[in-house]
């Protein structure tokens, strides 16, 4: 079993179109921390897709938040845009996805023991 199979790592559009960008954008986006939970947006599985347009001049990141009314949401979205631009080295927009976040979206859903379940 590979590391990607052991972990819950989503496949983004750039995995197929621009595989050379995956590691650098993951590293940049890993710098965005959810201030309430203390984990980064990659660990939490908040980045649902990363795509580069056909002309290779702009990118789009689709992300979700852990809760629809996250008080840090606007700051996290802007920070995500900035870090994605750094990692992709091109103008990037962030779109909000419609998925509802849950623990199963985390890279390693067993990494947290919040004491919520026995």
Residue whose C-alpha is closest to residue 28's, from 75, 79, 83: 83
Residue 45 CA neighbour count, 13 Å, CB half:
18
Domains and CATH numbers, the chain: 3-105 (3.30.300.130)
State both tokens at 75.
């700051």
Task: Pick the more confident residue, 45 or 116.
Answer: 45
pTM to 2 decimal places: 0.88
Q: Indicate whether 117 pLDDT > 50.
A: no
* Phi then psi dihedrals of residue 103, to 5 deg: -55, -30
- Rounded distance between C-alpha atoms, residue 98 and residue 12, angstroms: 16
* Residue found under tokens 């026995």: 118
Confidence tier at 114 by pLDDT (50, 70, 90): low
pLDDT at 116 over 80: no
pLDDT tens track for 38-74: 999 999 999 999 999 999 999 999 999 999 888 999 9
């Amino acid at each position: 079993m590979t590391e990607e199979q052991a972990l819950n790592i989503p496949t983004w559009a750039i995995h197929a179109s621009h595989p050379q960008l995956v590691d650098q954008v993951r590293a940049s986006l890993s710098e965005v921390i959810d201030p309430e939970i203390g984990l980064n947006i990659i660990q939490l599985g908040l980045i649902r897709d990363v795509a580069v347009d056909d002309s290779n001049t702009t990118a789009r990141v689709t992300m979700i938040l852990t809760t629809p009314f996250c008080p840090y949401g606007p700051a996290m979205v802007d920070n995500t845009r900035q870090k994605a631009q750094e990692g992709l080295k091109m103008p990037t927009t962030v779109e909000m996805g419609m998925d509802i976040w849950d623990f199963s979206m985390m890279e390693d859903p067993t990494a947290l023991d919040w004491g919520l379940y026995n």
